[in-house]
């Protein structure tokens, strides 16, 4: 029986390197072969490449990838402390075969896929890369809104008001002063909330922090759509280092992904009685060929299963249709998936 442990969160330095690498891959917008394999399984991967029939141009890419695998056997690379998974991307540019490689200390699923651009979904599902996150640091007179795409700040806004801290003797009464002060804060928070709404085009999460009561008062100004994405965070202030900010983002993305997968499994269990799910691989394979699969849920451990090569083909078929692929890393979900041949499917319609 396979033992399971929950995956540990990726270090901020490795996450940063992976995000930078994936940013470079975004420039590639052409037919690409993507290969992910566990360190030590290079020979098996070469065999897999040789067994598959591809067009002549893709075969040339595969031969170059095979040579790269043999090089990596002697000299593995990793942006982490050691190498657990090696990822190779090959494509043709101006008649020349280009290869990009990265190694990670984290466990990624075995992938061998030809697609119209590099296949990077396992990085976002498992290593939390390339997510759009809004970071809002606020107190009663200052706000900083930063939009992160992966580890990069792609948009930033700072807002400030001149706010008198104490009531001076003479002039208006203490009560009137406090009411005027609170109104000024309220107007300021409305302005900040409006800015957040404008910047929140496609973010998955809004992380809200800051010293003092400002963040809880500001939270009340958010609309329901923003509230659904919002999470209070500890340890965030205007002086928090970028490294610590990355750690905060990574932690909350792990929590976000965990919740997303739990909800997906609940959806699957709810649809079972309606006949809108499949759990046997031969049924799922047929449903994929009919474009009847809405979501394919795949265990990151699937390569330890006897259905390994079949699942690799299923992933490629899924990517060529409008089917969503979701990689599960939680021990609880993987245990459930292993009972059902490492893959579950949510269907668009019933199949006979």
pLDDT of residue 340: 65
Count of CB atoms situated within 10 Å of the CB of 84: 17
Evaluate whether 197 touches 223 at the Cβ level (below 8 Å).
Answer: yes
Cα distances (angstroms) measured from residue 129 to each of 69, 119, 173, 175, 225: 24, 13, 54, 50, 23
Predicted TM-score (pTM) of this structure: 0.89
Q: Chain-centre distance of CA 16, in angstroms? A: 13
Q: pLDDT tens-digit profile of 300-332?
A: 888 777 778 889 999 999 999 989 999 998 888
Q: For the chain, 352 residues long, give each residue's pLDDT as a single digit of tens.
A: 344 456 689 999 999 999 999 999 999 999 999 999 999 999 999 999 998 888 898 999 999 999 999 999 988 899 988 999 999 999 999 999 999 999 999 999 999 999 999 999 999 999 999 999 999 999 988 999 999 999 999 999 999 988 766 555 555 577 777 788 788 888 999 999 999 999 998 999 999 999 888 899 999 999 999 999 999 999 999 999 999 999 999 999 999 999 999 999 999 999 999 999 999 999 999 999 999 999 999 988 887 777 788 899 999 999 999 899 999 988 888 887 776 678 999 999 998 7
Q: How far is the C-alpha of 297 from the C-alpha of 292, rounded, in Å? A: 14
pLDDT of residue 165: 61
């Amino acid at each position: 029986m396979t033992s399971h442990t929950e995956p540990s969160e990726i270090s901020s330095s490795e996450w940063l390197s992976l995000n930078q690498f994936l940013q470079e891959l975004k420039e590639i917008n052409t037919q690409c072969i993507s290969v992910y394999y566990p360190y030590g399984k290079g020979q098996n991967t070469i065999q897999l490449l040789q067994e598959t029939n591809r067009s002549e141009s893709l075969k040339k890419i595969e031969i170059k990838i095979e040579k790269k695998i043999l090089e990596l056997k002697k000299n593995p690379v990793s942006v982490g402390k050691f190498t657990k998974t090696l990822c190779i991307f090959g494509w043709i540019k101006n008649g020349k075969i280009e290869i990009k490689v990265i190694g990670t200390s984290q466990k990624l699923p075995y992938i061998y896929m030809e697609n119209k651009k590099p296949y990077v979904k396992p990085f976002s599902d498992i290593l939390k890369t390339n997510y759009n996150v809004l970071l809002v640091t606020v107190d009663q007179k200052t706000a900083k809104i930063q939009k992160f795409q992966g580890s990069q700040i792609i948009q930033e806004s700072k807002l400030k008001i001149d706010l008198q801290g104490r009531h001076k003797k003479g002039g208006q009464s203490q009560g009137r002063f406090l009411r005027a002060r609170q109104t000024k804060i309220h107007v300021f928070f409305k302005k900040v909330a409006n800015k957040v709404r404008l910047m929140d085009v496609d973010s998955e999460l809004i992380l809200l922090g800051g010293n003092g009561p400002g963040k809880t008062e500001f939270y009340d100004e958010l609309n329901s759509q923003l509230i659904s994405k919002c999470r209070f965070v500890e340890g965030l202030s205007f002086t928090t280092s970028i490294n610590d900010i990355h750690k905060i983002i990574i932690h909350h993305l792990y929590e976000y992904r965990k919740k997303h997968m739990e909800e997906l499994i609940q959806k699957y269990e709810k649809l079972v009685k309606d006949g809108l799910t499949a759990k046997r691989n031969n049924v799922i394979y047929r449903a994929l060929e009919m474009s009847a699969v809405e979501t394919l849920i795949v265990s990151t451990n699937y390569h330890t299963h006897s259905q390994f090569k079949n699942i690799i083909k299923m992933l490629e078929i899924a990517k060529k249709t409008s089917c969503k692929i979701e990689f599960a890393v939680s021990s609880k979900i993987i245990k459930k998936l292993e009972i059902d041949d490492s893959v579950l499917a949510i269907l668009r319609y019933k199949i006979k």
